[in-house]
């Protein structure tokens, strides 16, 4: 597992954004009515950035995260990641790209109870070209990075909530992705465990240059990010 060391370059020194969004629209049909979720949204996310997406329920945060992940497609507009337009991918190409280049962290961990921590982290690698020994090496390295090198064989039920989320972060990192997308990663944690998970994400961003995009309702969680973007009714309301 390749782990980038050292501090990421200053954001202002990066010429090309990792994520480039231009004039993005997303709407759904409910019967005969078209419901707009995102409207004319443009946003750049730099390599090595830790970005928090905030806004009230229904503002389009999770929809935007799903579009960046390639889990959904925009109604119109441009969404480029690492210089590639996601709309140009076929569904099989998008599946392969997503598995190799995007890591996911969810509110409820999405761990398989009967598998060990190492086996849960290994899941994204099962459709890769890595052999068994290399998969294990990468999983062990990812778990060591998140401070769980001593918990490889523990199942989720034997871990605290914070430890389970650390396993989920290790799973997100195991393919050395371009970016990690986190949807309310502390929403199911108490304040102590939430602080530990956020501190870990901030450390990975700072020391390894991992790019994080995090959806959160919690201002304390958002404060760990290097930039906060607010959405209101599908539009960019504020960023700082």
Range 47-72+100-239 has CATH code 3.40.50.300 = yes
Provide the β-strand partners of residue 21.
43, 79
Determine the average pLDDT of the residues in 80-101.
Answer: 90
Angle 16-20-23 from CA coordinates, rounded to 5°: 140
Distance CA 2, CA 184 (A): 26
Q: What is the mean pLDDT of the chain?
A: 89
Which is nearest to 174 in space by CA: 213, 144, 212? 144
Distance CA 199, CA 140 (A): 21
Percentage, residues of the chain above pLDDT 90: 68
Residue extents of the structural domains in the chain: 47-72+100-239
Answer yes or no: are the C-beta atoms of 38 and 234 closer than 8 Å. yes
pLDDT, tens only, 119-155: 999 999 988 777 888 999 999 999 999 999 999 999 9
Could you give the CA distance from residue 81 to residue 38 in angstroms, rounded to a whole number? 18
* pLDDT over 80 at 3, yes or no: no
Cα end-to-end span (Å), the chain: 33
- The C-alpha R_g of the chain, in whole angstroms, comes to 18
Q: Rounded distance, CA 161 to CA 92, Å? A: 34
């Amino acid at each position: 597992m390749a782990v980038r060391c050292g501090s990421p370059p200053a954001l202002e020194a990066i010429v090309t954004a990792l994520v480039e969004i231009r004039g993005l629209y997303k709407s759904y049909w409910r019967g005969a009515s078209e419901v707009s979720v995102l409207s004319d949204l443009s946003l750049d996310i730099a390599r090595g950035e830790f970005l928090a997406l905030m806004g009230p329920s229904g503002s389009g945060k999770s929809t935007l995260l799903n579009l960046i992940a390639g889990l959904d497609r925009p109604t119109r507009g441009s969404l480029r990641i690492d210089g590639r337009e996601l709309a140009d991918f076929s569904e099989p190409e998008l599946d392969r790209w997503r598995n190799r280049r995007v890591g996911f962290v969810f509110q409820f961990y999405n761990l398989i109870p009967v598998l060990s921590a190492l086996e849960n982290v290994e899941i994204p690698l099962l459709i890769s070209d890595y052999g068994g020994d290399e998969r294990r090496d990468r999983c062990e390295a990812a778990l060591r990075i998140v401070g769980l090198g001593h918990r490889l064989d523990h199942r989720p039920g034997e871990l605290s909530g914070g430890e389970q989320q650390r396993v989920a972060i290790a799973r997100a990192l195991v393919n050395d992705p371009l970016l990690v997308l986190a949807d309310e990663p502390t929403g199911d944690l108490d304040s102590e465990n939430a602080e530990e998970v956020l501190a870990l994400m901030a450390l990975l961003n700072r020391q390894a240059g991992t790019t994080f995009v995090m959806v959160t309702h919690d201002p304390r969680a958002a404060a760990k990010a290097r930039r906060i973007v607010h959405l209101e009714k599908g539009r960019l309301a504020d960023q700082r």
